[in-house]
Structure 1
Amino acid sequence: MTTRVLICDDSRFARRQMARAVPKGWDVEMLYAENGQQALDIIRQGQADVTFLDLNMPVMDGYQAMEQIRSEDLPTMVIVVSGDVQPEARKRMQAMGALDFIAKPVDTEKLAGLLTQYGLYSGDMEKRQVEEDTASQSDRLDVYRELINVAMGQAGDKLAQVLGEFIHLPIPNVNQIASSELRMAIAEIQHKAYVSAVSQGFVSAGIKGEALVIFNETNFSSLVKLLKYRSQALNEQQEVEALMDVSNILIGACLNALAEQLDVKFSQNHPIILGRHCDLEQLLKNNVSRWNQVVAIEIGYSIDSQDIHFDLLLLFPKESMDVMFDKLMYMSGRADGYPA
């Protein structure tokens, strides 16, 4: 009997990755949705026996969609597939009725084992074939976004472990821009006039980049308390340590996750503080990238319960992103094209 499987993810690349991970021997009819609202429309029509649901999506995210599935008692079994691997994310979704939780990128063998465990599938674990086509520029940005989505989730999980708080993760913003536009792009994501910032460069074979962590001016005292320093009094030394510690956690975990997906190793420069409680315009003017074209990736982390907000900005020259794209296609077994 054919099982109707719905894959809900805002990334076209991620949807096809998920489709490829579904065992070839499983008799399924595939349906796709780009956000929770589209998924609900399909589920309400009785067209989804099993739903693979992402968490961070526009229009309606996975949490909102799961709440509707529960409140309406809709007929589908939900398995969450997300880059956000925080235990709290898993706990929230399973409390609302999700069957289980799979971390991105999806491991085919683990997926087959999970499906077998729940009596949904029994058979071989061979990957399903998915049609491919060539990659347009928008497709490439989508691939970069999903690559960063996985790294962002692992960095958020690492920070959550250290701070003991749930980290709100956004949809990463990926844009290819001229370096002359970089100051304007950063100013748009950070609306505070005064900020503190830490920068760190990194390099691997054919890949180089810069990471910039920008902190707004809210609640440094709460950040120091969450880091559990011996002295809880907020002073200049504690603030500097907090800036460096949080930046090291975010940048290190994010680069480790990127390296794992690309099968590379990054060498990292020593992090430096670009400025503390300084004017954003002046900070950007003094530190704008010298590359002609950059791919700017912005991730806005927040700890809502503590009113703490900061942005991680990854900057890559276009040539480095081309190398990363080729490596990811090769690692995914699709060196000649991009999935349809």
Structure 2
Amino acid sequence: MTIPVLICDDSALARKQMARTLPKEWDVDITYATNGAEGLEAIKAGKGEIVFLDLNMPVMDGYDVLRHIQQQDLPAMVIVVSGDIQIQAHQRVKALGALDFIQKPVSADAITNILEEYGILTLALKNAEPEADNPMIKVDLRDACQEVANVAMGRAADLLSKLLDVFVLLPIPNVNVLEVSELTMALKATEADAKVSALCQGFIGAGIAGEALLLFHDSSFADMAKLMNMNDTTNTEIEVMMDTGNVLIGAFLNGISEQLDMHFSQSHPVVLGRHCTVNDLIHDNSDRWSRTLAMEINYRIEGHNVQCDLLLLFTEDSMPTLEFKLGYLMD
């Protein structure tokens, strides 16, 4: 008996990776959804007896999908597949009825082990090749970079959540190739008139270089200092920025380097500006950047007035190496 399987993820790369890792002997009919709303409709149409569900998606996220499945008692066994590896994320999806949780990037062994553990794999076997490498799933550089950023974002959030005992709210990473003049517009989560302070840290690897920019909203300093148990002194703001930067930039770059199978060296962090607007910050430092591939992640902490943007700016010269390194994922 062929089992209807739904892969619900906004990333074409993630959908392709997920399909490739399904056991070859498993007799399945795969349906793909690019957001939670599409996924929910597919489940209602009987196309998702087994569901592999991402959490961070547009239109409707994975948490909302789980709530609807639970509230409407829909016949779906859900395995969450996410880059958000925070302990609280695990606990929340389990409480909403998810069967289990797999962290990205997925591996064939992890998938097979879970399917066998819950007796799912024995439901239907076949000897033919799977439908995994669906030629309809096309992955471009931007999509590949966005998924790599998604995984790295989750690693950084997990470290921050453990250090501060908080839950970090994660967005969908924003990835674009753009000119410096477009940087301000690219910062989706930053209001034009918001006052920010910024930290910059360079990084370099074999054929890849760039700068990590941490934009810290001025309204966030007080709450962040309390979470870090810091006294309110004249140097507190810089300490908060430096400590937050060490965690977020370091963990994010480690997440990127693991996926690209390369090492990054980091320069000493430098304060770029304090209590200024993003427009001023970009204008005053425009000579630092030219055409760039930018990864933007907006981190917020649940229950606290803490918001900061992490922006990774890769040099234009890094593009060929990035494309080469990610080529095996895109093929």
Question: TM-score, normalized by length of structure 1?
Answer: 0.90
Structure 2 unmatched runs, 5+: none
Shift of 1:25: 1.1
Partner of 1:335: none
> Gaps (5+ residues) in structure 1?
333-337
Quote the Cα distance in structure 2 between the aligned partners of 1:189 and 1:322. 30
In the TM superposition, residue 176 of structure 1 has moved relative to its aligned partner by: 1.0
Distance 1:290 1:36 in 2: 39
Residues 187/97 of structure 1: CA separation in 2 closer, same or farther (3 Å cut): closer
Distance 1:38 1:260, change over 3 A: same
- Quick check: 1:38 aligned with 2:38? yes
1:80-124 Cα deviation digits (max 9, x unpaired): 000111111111110010000000000111111111000011589
Q: How far did residue 133 of structure 1 move?
A: 8.0
User: What's the CA shift string for 1:121-161, capped at 9, x where partnerless?
Assistant: 1589x99551458967xx22111111100001111111111
In 1: Cα distance, 2:101 partner to 2:176 partner: 30
Give the partner amino acid of 2:197: S
Which secondary structure state, in structure 2, belongs to the residue aligned with residue 299 of structure 1? strand
The whole-number CA distance in structure 2 between the counterparts of 1:107 and 1:38 is 25
Contact map agreement 2:12 2:137 (CA 8 A) in 1: no
Check the 8 A contact 1:13/1:146 in 2, yes or no. yes
1:263 is displaced (CA, Å) by 0.4
For the 8 Å contact 1:21–1:127, the answer to whether it is kept is no
Secondary structure of the 1:315 match is strand
Q: Which amino acid aligns with 1:308?
A: V
Which residue in the other structure is 2:65 paired with?
A: 65
User: Where does residue 164 of structure 1 map in the other structure?
Assistant: 165
The letter of the residue matching 2:38 is Q
- The residue identity in structure 2 corresponding to 1:166 is F
- Tell me how far apart the structure 2 counterparts of residues 326 and 300 of structure 1 sit (CA, whole Å): 27
Distance 2:53 2:136 in 1: 25
Per-residue CA deviations over 1:2-44 (Å, capped at 9, x if unaligned) read 1111000001111011000111111111010011111111111
Match of 1:260 among 258, 261, 275: 258
Partner of 2:90: 90
1:192-203 alignment runs, 5 A limit: 192-203=193-204
Could you tell me which amino acid in structure 2 is paired with residue 38 of structure 1?
E
Contact 1:23–1:127 (CA<8 Å) still a contact in 2? no
Counterpart CA distance in 1 for 2:308 and 2:187 is 12
In structure 1, give the amino acid aligned to 2:99.
Answer: L
Deviation track 1:261-310 (CA, whole Å, cap 9, x = no partner) reads 01000000000111222343332222125444211111011013111111
Q: Is 1:246 equivalent to 2:247 in the alignment?
A: no
- Find the residue that maps to 1:305 and give its secondary structure: coil
Residue 179 of structure 1, CA deviation: 2.2
TM-score by length of 2: 0.93
Cα distance in 1 for residues equivalent to 2:244 and 2:292: 25
Which SS does the other structure have where 2:66 is aligned? Answer: helix
2:133 to 130, 147, 157: 130
Q: Which moved more, 1:278-287 or 1:171-180?
A: 278-287
| Structure 2 residue 99 is matched with structure 1 residue 99 | yes
The list of structure 1 runs, each at least 4 consecutive aligned residues, that deviate by more than 6 angstroms after superposition, is 133-136
Residue of structure 2 in register with 1:286 after alignment: 284
1:1-340 to 2 correspondences below 5 Å: 1-122=1-122, 129-132=132-135, 139-186=140-187, 189-229=190-230, 233-288=231-286, 290-330=288-328, 332=329, 338=330
In structure 2, give the amino acid aligned to 1:215.
F
Matched pairs, number: 327
Task: Find the residue that maps to 1:189 and give its secondary structure.
Answer: coil
Change (3 A) 1:143 1:92: same
- Distance in 2 (CA, whole Å) between partners of 1:10 and 1:183 is 25
Q: How much has 1:188 moved relative to structure 2?
A: 6.9
